[in-house]
């Protein structure tokens, strides 16, 4: 793991496998309200919610040979995380929830 001065690292490592996994480096000035991880021995995800900007930052690792059933479980966990964070927001802010695929 590499340390970067002024940044915190959030990670989800692949257990019992070499390579893969995911991580996020977030500047220390960003106050992370909630962190969610997912690891099913094949797929990994780490999510950080920054309340001040109403932003959920997500890093996902899905190996090329992964099964769709495992990835569906990861997506279900992501949806649960989004739903939980939506409950933290003010009702009038809910209309501003957007997703973007990279």
Using CA atoms, how far apart are residues 23 and 8, in angstroms rounded to an integer?
Answer: 10
pLDDT-derived band of residue 29, with 50, 70 and 90 as boundaries?
very high
How much is the pTM?
0.74
pLDDT at 101 over 60: no
Q: Is the pLDDT of residue 79 over 90?
A: yes
**pLDDT category of residue 28 using cuts at 50, 70 and 90:** very high
Tokens standing for residue 24 = 């996020």
Distance from C-alpha of 56 to C-alpha of 49, rounded to nearest angstrom: 4
Q: How far is CA 99 from the centre of its chain?
A: 13
- Residue 46, classed as helix, strand or coil, is strand
Mean pLDDT score across all residues of the chain = 82
């Amino acid at each position: 793991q590499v340390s970067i001065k002024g940044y915190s690292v959030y990670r989800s490592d692949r257990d019992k496998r070499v390579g893969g996994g995911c991580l996020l480096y977030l500047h220390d000035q960003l106050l992370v309200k909630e962190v969610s991880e997912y690891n099913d021995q094949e797929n990994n995800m780490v999510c950080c919610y920054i309340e001040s900007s109403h932003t959920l930052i997500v890093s996902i690792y899905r190996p090329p040979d992964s099964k769709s059933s495992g990835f569906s479980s990861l997506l279900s966990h992501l949806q649960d995380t989004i739903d939980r964070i939506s409950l933290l927001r003010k009702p009038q802010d809910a209309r501003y929830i957007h997703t973007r695929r990279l």
